[in-house]
Structure 1
Amino acid sequence: MSLYFFRISHGRYSGASDQPSEFESREAAWAEMTRVCANLVGSISRSLKQNAEWHMELLDESSKPVFRIRLVSESLG
């Protein structure tokens, strides 16, 4: 079992969870990350400004990113 931390960044805000989550594999950690992200994306996309980025990362025990999911809005003209 490995310990992981979630970190969310949006503009100048960035915050990581204080409590680790324990998963038996990277695949299990990825599955949980996508589930959590799916629950958040609707509300985040409704308040996302133009040319902004929101992302969620899963960090390993040494705080290195393992996975990242990004939501980016771009003004194209």
Structure 2
Amino acid sequence: MTKKQLNVRVDATTAEIARARAEQEGISMNQYIEKLVQQDMGETGRSFVDAAAQFMKEYEAAFLAEFGEHEAAGQRR
């Protein structure tokens, strides 16, 4: 995997906390930041799926009324 360099500026307290957390986990600062971004991406994906499921639950009756049961389920007559 090709790596890209990022330059990030944070306040001194944030930098100290990040360094300490990386050290506690026994990983480099780069690995720690990469891990945080990957976790954030996973949470965003879950949030999207949850929101889509809630949308479908709320509007299921409207889809069925408009398109009928077969079309709403993706089955064409």
TM-score over 0.5 for the pair: no
Per the normalisation by structure 1, the TM-score is 0.32
Q: Which has the higher strand share?
A: 1
Per the normalisation by structure 2, the TM-score is 0.32
